[in-house]
Amino acid sequence: MARTPRKAHSKPRPGDAGRPRLILLNKPYRVLPQFTDGQGRATLAGFGLPPGVYPAGRLDYDSEGLMVLTDYGPWQVRISHPRHKMVKTYWVQVEGRPDAEALACLRRGVILKDGPARALSVRVIGEPAGLWTRHPPIRYRAHIPTTWLELRLDEGRNRQVRRMTATIGHPTLRLVRQAVGPWTVDALAPGQWREVPFEEAVSRLGRGRAGGRSRPPANGIRRRPPRG
């Protein structure tokens, strides 16, 4: 069940003391995927997230959908590092109507400035059922049709989906991340979040390194072994 956002700086529940946390958030359009900004833009600080969690991967300011956050370094690495190839699923509204060859090109791979990029899968879909309205909506142009695609990647380079669709001649108009690994944005309204049960997170991501000390990651997440 989706959770109503709480006040900022809320404390963890007593039963969660000492355990790593894994949070799923539906990031709205035009929200920075970070907690501070010097230009007055909306950030993650406005959604009452538990203290100490940080994004495991990014989602662009002008993109929407699922973000995963955690306070445990090994889980962040497991989700976001390219070597682990965790699959991300996107709903992409593009300009025009891509033909079979354009879609095949995405599957074979396109050449971007930072190297080749390939979709694990791509298919045409209808507008996703239950998709929330974006504010503001995309610009409507009666003489230019649009198409929804479902696209899956196992990497996450900067603005990769947008660059890939532009390469085949179909610019992205709206981009929604529907899933990260086994977790989806379903049942979360924009700005809402829920916590993944600890046992489920461990079963999916493991417990990280057992024993020993590791250097804290650059984002400030403290590495600690899960308990229980």
The set of catalytic residues is 60
Question: b or e along 165-177 (b: 16 or more beta carbons within 10 Å of the residue's beta carbon)?
Answer: bbbbebebbbbbb
DSSP-based three-state secondary structure for 101: helix
By C-alpha distance, which of 83, 91, 85, 106 is closest to 59?
91
How many helices (DSSP H) and strands (DSSP E) are in the chain?
4, 11
**Pairing outcome for strands 54-55 and 64-70:** antiparallel
Give the whole-angstrom CA distance, residue 122 versus residue 170: 14
- At 204, list the tokens: 């999916």
Query: Please, are residues 41 and 30 in contact by the beta-carbon 8 Å criterion?
Result: yes
Task: Name the DSSP class of 207.
Answer: -
| Contact (Cβ atoms closer than 8 angstroms) between residue 153 and residue 119 | yes
